[in-house]
C-alpha cells in the first residue's frame, strides 16, 4: 500500500500531503508535509504530535501520540492552491503501539470488528442526511459584560424591509416554507450544485441536493456506506460545505438550532444490518421488518437517552429537540411517521429495508454517533428487546397518546446523567472503554457548566427591571 501511495503522489504531481485526524468533538485537524519529506519510513512509522493540545486527549506529561495513515481514505484537496493529497489517519499510543482508546475513528473500527465477532451480522450500513444553514454573514461574541449574535441571509423575511437602493427582489421562503421551492425562492441552487461536484471529486457518491424547510437551510445526500467509511464521508461533506460556502463569500454552519422559531438541522441516519449477502432487517413483521430489526430498534429506544450524549452532543442540540418543528422528541417507532424517533421508510425490495433514526444532529462526531447506535442496536438483538407497539399517530398533535410515551433528553445535562447511569452496553468487546467515557463526559460537562453559568440576553430582557 505504501509503495502504491508513493507512486500515486508522483503520478498526480502532488506538492503536499495533508495528514488529518478527527478529535473527540468531531473536528478535523491536519498537518501538511511537502511531498519531498514523505517517504516509506514516515508512512510506516507514523507522525508524532502533541496530544495534550487536543481537547479530551492527553495530559502534558504524557503528550506524545502518533497518527498513522489509512490509505483506504485518500483524496485530492480541491481547495488548496498547491496540489495537495488528503490522507485520513488513525491515532496510536506510542507506549504500546496500539490504537488510542480515545480516537473516534479507531473506536469506529473496533465497533465494526465487534459486529463481525458477535456473529449477529457481518456488515452495518449507515446513510446520514446532514442538514445545514448557509448565511450571508454572522457576528457573535461573549465576554464577562456582553453577549450577542446576529445572522444575515438574503432569504430571511426581515430583508423585505430593506431600502430599495439596497436591492430587494421579494422572493423569499416563508417560515417553514422552504422545502423544495425552485429558484429564485431557492437562492443557492448553484452553490449546492458546486458542493455536490466538489464532493464527487473527493470520492463521495452523491445522490441529491435540495433546499430544506427553514430559510437558508439546505441538505445534500450521498450514498450509504459502512461505519468508518461513512464517518470519513461526513468529514469530507462538512469540509466541502464550509469551504464552498466560504468561496461564495458566505458562511455555513451545522449548528442544530441557529434560528429561533423555525426548524433546526438534524442528521437522520438510515441503518441496516447484513450477514454476508443477506439483508437482516427484511421480514414479515410490522412494515416488512424482521424480528432482528425490531430488536435493533428496541435497543436504540431503550438506550436512547444515553445515546443522546453522543448523537446530540451540544447544549444547542436540545433547542432543536422540542415539539413543533419536525424534531422527533418522542421515543417511538412508526412507518413513515416523522414525529417518531425511529421511522421505517418505504422501501422497494428486501435489500432496501432499513430503519431511520431521526434524533441525531450534524454536530455529532460521526464515528462515535454511529458506533453508539450500533452498540445499542446489537444490545437489543442480543437481549431480544422488543420496542412495543408502533405509534402510527401524529404525536405532535395527539397529545394524549404522546403523553403516554417516553421522551428524548431535554438537555445535555440530562443526556450526560443518562450516559453515566447507562453505558455498560458500550463496553462489550472493549469498543468503548470506561476511560474514554469518563474523558468524554468530563469534556462535555465543561460545555454544560459554562452554558448554565453564563447570563443570556433573554434574561436581561425578562428580568432586568424586576
| Residue 113 resides in a domain | no
Output the pLDDT for position 349.
85
Answer yes or no: do 278 and 310 share one domain: yes
CA distances from 152 to 51, 133, 139, 264 (A): 37, 11, 9, 16
| Residue 324 resides in a domain | yes
For residue 161, pLDDT beyond 70: no
Output the pLDDT for position 325.
64
Least confident of 44-58, 111-125, 329-343, 390-404: 390-404
| Residue 466 resides in a domain | no
Q: In a 10 Å sphere around its CB, with 0-12 CB exposed, 13-18 middle and 19+ buried, how is residue 123 labelled?
A: middle
Active-site position among 10, 40, 50, 190: 50
Active-site position among 23, 93, 212, 232: 212
Output the pLDDT for position 172.
66
Q: How many domains is the chain built from?
A: 2
Output the pLDDT for position 175.
67
Answer yes or no: do 96 and 144 share one domain: no
Average pLDDT on 118-128 reads 97
Tally the C-alpha atoms within 13 A of residue 237's C-alpha that lie toward its C-beta: 33
Answer yes or no: do 177 and 299 share one domain: yes
Q: Reduced to 3 DSSP states, what percent helix, strand and coil does the chain have, rounded to the nearest 5?
A: 40, 25, 40
Q: What is the mean pLDDT of the chain?
A: 91
Answer yes or no: do 147 and 95 share one domain: no
What percentage of residues in the chain have a pLDDT greater than 70?
91
CA-CA-CA-CA torsion for 414, 416, 421, 427, nearest 10 degrees? 150
d(CA 362, CA 253): 10
Residue 356 annotated as lining a ligand binding site: yes
Active-site position among 268, 303, 354, 423: 268
Three cell numbers at 191?
A: 452553490
For residue 278, what are the contacts with CB-CB under 8 A and spacing of at least 6? none
Active-site position among 90, 129, 155, 229: 129
Residue 131 annotated as lining a ligand binding site: yes
Active-site position among 93, 356, 361, 379: 356
> Mind listing the pLDDT tens digit for each residue in 12-36?
999 999 999 999 999 999 999 999 9
Task: Find the CATH number of the domain harbouring 396.
Answer: 3.30.590.10
Average pLDDT on 432-451 reads 96
pLDDT grade for 270, boundaries at 50, 70 and 90: very high
pLDDT grade for 348, boundaries at 50, 70 and 90: confident
Output the pLDDT for position 347.
79
CA distances from 27 to 120, 244, 274 (A): 32, 18, 30
Active-site position among 23, 219, 262, 361: 219
Q: In a 10 Å sphere around its CB, with 0-12 CB exposed, 13-18 middle and 19+ buried, how is residue 165 labelled?
A: exposed
Residue 358 annotated as lining a ligand binding site: yes
For residue 164, pLDDT beyond 50: no
CA angle 62–63–65, rounded 5-degree value: 115
The string of DSSP codes covering 201-242 is HTT--EEEEEE-SSTTEEEEEE--EEHHHHHHHHHHHHHHHH
Active-site position among 77, 93, 131, 361: 131
Residue 211 annotated as lining a ligand binding site: no
Output the pLDDT for position 55.
87
| Residue 109 resides in a domain | no
d(CA 262, CA 175): 6
Answer yes or no: do 73 and 194 share one domain: no
What is the length of the chain?
466
Of 159, 24, 215, nearest to 104 by C-alpha is 24
d(CA 68, CA 362): 26
| Residue 146 resides in a domain | yes
Average pLDDT on 133-147 reads 92
For residue 163, pLDDT beyond 60: no
DSSP 8-state assignment for residue 387: -
Query: Which of 56-60, 149-153, 253-257 tops mean pLDDT?
Result: 253-257
| Residue 118 resides in a domain | no
Answer yes or no: do 212 and 263 share one domain: yes
Output the pLDDT for position 95.
86
Output the pLDDT for position 94.
87
Q: Which domain holds residue 263?
A: 123-459
Residue 246 annotated as lining a ligand binding site: no
Residue 264 annotated as lining a ligand binding site: yes
For residue 227, pLDDT beyond 80: yes
DSSP 8-state assignment for residue 100: P
d(CA 95, CA 100): 10
Answer yes or no: do 96 and 211 share one domain: no
CA 298 to chain centre: 22
- Active-site residue 50, yes or no? yes
Output the pLDDT for position 61.
65
Answer yes or no: do 255 and 167 share one domain: yes
Three cell numbers at 211?
A: 433546499
Residue 413 annotated as lining a ligand binding site: no
Residue 229 annotated as lining a ligand binding site: no
Residue 212 annotated as lining a ligand binding site: yes
- Active-site residue 423, yes or no? no
pLDDT grade for 173, boundaries at 50, 70 and 90: low
d(CA 40, CA 372): 36
Average pLDDT on 170-188 reads 69
| Residue 107 resides in a domain | no
> Mind listing the pLDDT tens digit for each residue in 190-215?
999 999 999 999 999 999 999 888 88
Answer yes or no: do 130 and 66 share one domain: no
Residue with cell string 419536525: 326
- Active-site residue 131, yes or no? yes
d(CA 224, CA 207): 10
Answer yes or no: do 37 and 143 share one domain: no
CA distances from 416 to 105, 302, 325 (A): 22, 16, 24
Q: Is the backbone peptide bond immediately before 184 cis, with ω within 30 degrees of 0? A: yes
Answer yes or no: do 139 and 260 share one domain: yes
| Residue 81 resides in a domain | yes
Least confident of 178-182, 408-412, 438-442: 178-182
pTM over 0.85: yes
- Active-site residue 358, yes or no? yes
Angle between helices 434-453 and 412-421 (to 10 degrees): 160
- Active-site residue 219, yes or no? yes
Task: Find the CATH number of the domain harbouring 88.
Answer: 3.10.20.70
Answer yes or no: do 274 and 377 share one domain: yes
Amino acid at each position: 500500500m505504501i509503495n502504491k501511495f508513493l507512486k500515486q503522489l508522483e503520478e498526480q504531481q502532488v506538492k503536499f500531503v495533508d495528514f488529518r485526524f478527527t478529535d473527540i468533538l468531531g473536528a478535523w485537524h491536519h498537518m501538511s508535509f511537502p511531498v519531498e519529506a514523505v517517504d516509506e519510513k514516515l508512512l510506516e512509522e507514523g507522525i508524532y504530535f502533541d496530544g495534550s493540545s487536543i481537547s479530551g486527549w492527553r495530559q502534558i506529561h504524557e503528550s506524545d501520540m502518533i497518527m498513522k495513515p489509512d490509505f483506504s481514505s485518500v483524496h485530492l484537496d480541491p481547495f488548496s492552491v498547491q496540489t495537495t493529497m488528503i490522507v485520513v489517519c488513525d491515532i496510536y499510543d506510542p507506549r504500546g503501539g496500539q490504537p488510542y482508546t480515545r480516537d473516534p475513528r479507531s473506536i469506529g473500527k473496533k465497533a465494526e470488528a465487534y459486529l463481525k465477532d458477535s456473529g449477529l451480522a457481518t456488515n452495518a450500513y449507515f446513510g446520514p442526511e446532514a442538514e445545514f444553514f448557509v448565511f450571508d454573514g454572522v457576528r457573535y461574541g461573549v465576554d464577562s459584560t456582553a453577549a450577542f449574535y446576529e445572522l444575515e441571509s438574503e432569504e430571511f423575511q426581515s430583508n423585505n424591509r430593506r431600502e430599495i437602493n439596497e436591492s430587494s427582489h421579494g422572493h423569499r421562503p416563508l417560515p417553514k416554507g422552504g422545502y423544495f421551492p425552485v429558484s429564485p425562492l431557492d437562492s443557492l441552487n448553484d452553490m449546492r450544485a458546486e458542493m455536490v461536484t466538489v464532493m464527487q471529486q473527493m470520492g463521495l457518491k452523491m445522490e441529491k441536493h435540495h433546499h430544506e424547510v427553514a430559510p437558508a437551510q439546505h441538505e445534500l445526500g450521498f450514498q450509504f456506506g459502512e461505519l468508518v467509511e461513512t464517518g470519513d464521508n461526513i468529514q469530507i461533506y462538512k469540509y466541502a460545505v464550509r469551504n464552498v460556502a466560504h468561496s461564495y463569500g458566505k458562511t455555513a454552519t451545522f449548528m442544530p438550532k441557529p434560528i429561533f422559531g423555525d426548524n433546526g438541522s438534524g442528521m437522520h441516519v438510515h441503518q441496516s444490518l447484513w450477514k454476508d449477502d443477506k439483508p437482516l432487517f427484511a421480514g414479515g413483521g410490522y412494515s416488512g421488518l424482521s424480528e432482528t430489526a425490531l430488536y435493533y430498534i428496541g435497543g436504540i429506544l431503550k438506550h436512547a437517552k444515553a445515546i443522546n450524549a453522543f448523537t446530540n452532543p451540544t447544549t444547542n442540540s436540545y433547542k432543536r429537540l422540542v415539539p413543533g418543528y419536525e424534531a422527533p422528541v418522542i421515543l417511538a417507532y412508526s412507518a413513515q411517521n416523522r414525529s417518531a424517533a425511529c421511522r421505517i421508510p418505504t422501501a422497494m425490495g428486501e435489500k432496501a429495508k432499513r430503519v431511520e433514526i431521526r434524533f441525531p444532529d450534524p454536530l455529532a462526531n460521526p464515528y462515535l454517533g454511529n458506533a453508539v447506535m450500533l452498540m445499542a442496536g446489537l444490545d437489543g438483538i442480543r437481549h431480544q428487546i422488543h420496542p412495543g407497539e408502533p405509534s402510527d399517530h401524529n404525536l405532535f398533535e395527539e397529545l394524549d397518546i404522546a403523553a403516554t410515551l417516553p421522551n428524548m433528553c431535554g438537555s445535555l445535562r440530562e443526556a450526560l446523567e443518562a450516559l453515566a447511569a447507562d453505558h455498560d452496553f458500550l463496553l462489550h468487546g472493549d469498543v468503548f472503554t470506561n476511560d474514554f467515557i469518563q474523558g468524554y463526559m468530563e469534556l462535555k460537562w465543561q460545555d454544560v457548566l459554562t452554558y448554565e453559568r453564563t447570563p443570556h440576553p433573554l434574561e436581561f430582557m425578562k428580568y432586568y427591571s424586576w
